């Protein structure tokens, strides 16, 4: 009884937190353009992207109204028509160059190695890492460079709008994103006194000098969460970061299905709990007790009541109140992701999927198994801290 009461009150508090923080999330601001615009190199790793939105992505990159930029697409050993699509675009626009990637050496993640290959030919003062499923508004790069120069900041990363609208992933993604942003709040990233840092691989722009200072992409060679790892490295050098939202200028159908979301988050889940099985089990316990237990009790009580097996009982009532409180708490989050009000009813489903993701990642790690991503087996590793530095 006490646990369920605390659960209901806790979700009410989380709902208030969500309502306040959704409105406080930093946005990409429109700033005056620098007198001398710096050059920018956009790196686009692409592996087996022909069946997704590679062509629209490239069109959006090449449609930028910024005066001085180049696009370097890295074909990361694709086995589909990705290379042909890249070659066709490069033949029609000389701002796009295609680099043939190679299999990653031992200890490297495929995407990070592809970025490393692209960086070797990049000429820009700023380097932007992006994904091959991102859609940029024509003025995105111009506003991002202006905001970074005006900051001034050395790393600017933007969180996109998830445009996936036809699969179960759109109900899980708000929960997954909420969990990530609770651990790594953008406001903490932007605070130079806070050691936490968040990077988003869909748009991660940093000064070439800052990237070189941390050792380039080689510094995060084997880290499955390359974007977060790079942001952490840059912040550890004392440089300033900005993490913000740009829903009107950056969008992606990140995961086309719940199965894709499962695979994507499974490879990052163990890093999120710092590669600690006790932390993983603790997180699973928290998800089970905090989210799933009230739902199971409420549904079980309702079924038994309908069958005439039990009468009204305070335990069932409290479980129902806690379940409704949980759903209401995520109304603002689902609304931010473009879902209708009734999507809040799917919150227990979202938490159940994320609990399954964490359990699967922990199980594979406990058995010494790797996870598969884009046709490659990868180990759920976290980059060690820079030499001479420890956690701060």
Percentage of the chain surpassing pLDDT 90? 56
Q: Are residues 172 and 239 in the same domain?
A: yes
Q: Are residues 280 and 239 in the same domain?
A: no
* DSSP code string of 29-73: PP-PPPSSPPPEEEEEEESS-TTTTHHHHHHHHHT---SSEEEEE
Assess contact for 211 and 226: CB atoms under 8 A: no
Q: Please indicate, yes or no, if residue 297 is contained in any of the structural domains.
A: yes
Q: Are residues 162 and 250 in the same domain?
A: yes
List all residues 6 or more positions away from 20 whose beta carbon is below 8 Å from its beta carbon. none
Give SS3 for 245: strand
Domain that holds residue 152: 25-255
| Closest among 25, 33, 21 to 242, alpha carbons compared | 25
Last residue of a domain, one of 229, 255, 281: 255
The pLDDT of residue 1: 73
Q: Are residues 229 and 282 in the same domain?
A: no
Rounded to the nearest angstrom, the gap between the alpha carbon of residue 377 and the centroid of all alpha carbons in its chain is 20
Q: Are residues 243 and 305 in the same domain?
A: no
Q: Per-residue pLDDT tens for 151-169? A: 899 999 999 988 765 567 8
Last residue of a domain, one of 202, 226, 255: 255
Last residue of a domain, one of 228, 255, 282: 255
Mean pLDDT of 281-294: 87
The pLDDT of residue 341: 84
Q: How many helices (H) and strands (E) does the chain have?
A: 15, 12
The pLDDT of residue 228: 94
Q: Please indicate, yes or no, if residue 264 is contained in any of the structural domains.
A: no
Q: Are residues 188 and 175 in the same domain?
A: yes
In this model, does residue 391 exceed pLDDT 60?
no
The pLDDT of residue 374: 63
Q: Per-residue pLDDT tens for 367-388? A: 666 666 666 666 555 555 544 3
Q: Are residues 69 and 107 in the same domain?
A: yes
What does the block give as tokens for 125? 């003062």
Mean pLDDT of 50-76: 96
b/e map 77-92, b = 16+ CB within 10 Å: bbeeebbebbeebbee
Q: Please indicate, yes or no, if residue 265 is contained in any of the structural domains.
A: no
Number of structural domains found in the chain = 2
Mean pLDDT of 76-84: 95
Q: Please indicate, yes or no, if residue 130 is contained in any of the structural domains.
A: yes
Give SS3 for 156: strand
Give 259's pLDDT tier (boundaries 50, 70, 90).
Answer: confident
Q: Please indicate, yes or no, if residue 100 is contained in any of the structural domains.
A: yes
Q: Please indicate, yes or no, if residue 260 is contained in any of the structural domains.
A: no
Q: Please indicate, yes or no, if residue 114 is contained in any of the structural domains.
A: yes
Mean pLDDT of 254-264: 74
Report the range of poorest mean pLDDT among 52-66, 80-94, 236-250, 272-286. 272-286
Q: Per-residue pLDDT tens for 197-255? A: 999 999 999 999 999 999 999 999 988 889 999 999 999 999 999 999 999 999 998 77
In this model, does residue 3 exceed pLDDT 50?
yes
b/e map 220-250, b = 16+ CB within 10 Å: bbbbbbbbbbbbbbbbbeebbbbbbbbbebb
Q: What is the CATH number of the domain that holds 236?
A: 3.90.550.10
Q: Are residues 287 and 210 in the same domain?
A: no
In this model, does residue 286 exceed pLDDT 50?
yes
Q: Are residues 193 and 306 in the same domain?
A: no
Mean pLDDT of 127-143: 97
* C-alpha span between 149 and 43 (Å, rounded): 20
Q: Are residues 88 and 151 in the same domain?
A: yes
The pLDDT of residue 363: 76
Q: Are residues 355 and 246 in the same domain?
A: no
Mean pLDDT of 327-345: 89
Q: Please indicate, yes or no, if residue 70 is contained in any of the structural domains.
A: yes
Look over the chain and give the mean of its residue pLDDT values, rounded to a whole number.
87
Mean pLDDT of 1-15: 89
Q: Are residues 250 and 350 in the same domain?
A: no
In this model, does residue 87 exceed pLDDT 50?
yes
């Amino acid at each position: 009884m006490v646990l369920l009461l605390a659960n209901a009150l806790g979700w009410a508090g989380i709902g208030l937190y969500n309502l306040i923080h959704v409105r406080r999330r930093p946005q990409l601001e429109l700033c005056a353009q620098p007198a001398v615009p710096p050059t920018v190199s956009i790196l686009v790793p692409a592996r087996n992207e022909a069946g997704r939105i590679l062509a629209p992505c490239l069109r959006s990159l090449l449609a930028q109204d910024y005066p001085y930029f180049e696009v370097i697409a890295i074909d990361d050993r694709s086995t589909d028509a990705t290379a042909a699509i890249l070659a066709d675009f490069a033949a029609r626009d000389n701002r796009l160059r295609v680099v043939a990637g190679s299999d990653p050496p031992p200890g490297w993640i495929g995407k990070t190695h592809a970025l490393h290959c692209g960086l070797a030919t990049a000429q820009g003062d700023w380097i932007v890492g992006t994904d091959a499923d991102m859609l940029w508004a024509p003025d995105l790069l111009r506003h991002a460079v202006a905001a970074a120069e005006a900051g001034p900041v050395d790393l600017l990363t933007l969180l996109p709008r998830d445009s996936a609208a036809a699969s179960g992933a759109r109900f899980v993604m708000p929960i997954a994103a909420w969990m990530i942003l609770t651990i790594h709040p953008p406001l903490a990233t932007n605070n130079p006194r806070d050691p936490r840092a968040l990077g988003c691989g869909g748009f991660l722009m940093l000064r070439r000098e800052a990237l070189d200072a941390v050792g380039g992409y080689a510094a995060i060679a084997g880290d499955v969460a390359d974007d977060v790892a790079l942001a952490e490295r840059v912040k550890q050098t004392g440089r300033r970061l900005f993490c913000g939202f740009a829903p009107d200028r950056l969008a992606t159908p990140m995961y086309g299905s719940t199965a894709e979301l499962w695979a994507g988050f499974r490879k990052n889940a163990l890093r999120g709990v710092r590669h600690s099985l006790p932390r993983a089990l603790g997180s699973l316990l928290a998800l089970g007790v905090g989210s799933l237990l009230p739902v199971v009790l409420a549904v079980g009580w309702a079924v038994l009541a309908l069958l005439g097996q039990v009468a009204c009982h305070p335990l069932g009532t409290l479980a129902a109140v806690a379940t409704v409180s949980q759903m209401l708490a995520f109304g603002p989050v689902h609304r931010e992701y473009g879902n209708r009000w009734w999507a809040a009813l799917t919150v227990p489903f979202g938490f159940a999927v994320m609990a399954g993701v964490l359990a699967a990642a922990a199980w594979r790690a406990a058995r010494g198994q790797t996870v598969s991503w884009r046709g490659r087996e990868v180990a759920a590793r976290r980059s060690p801290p820079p030499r001479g530095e420890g956690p701060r």
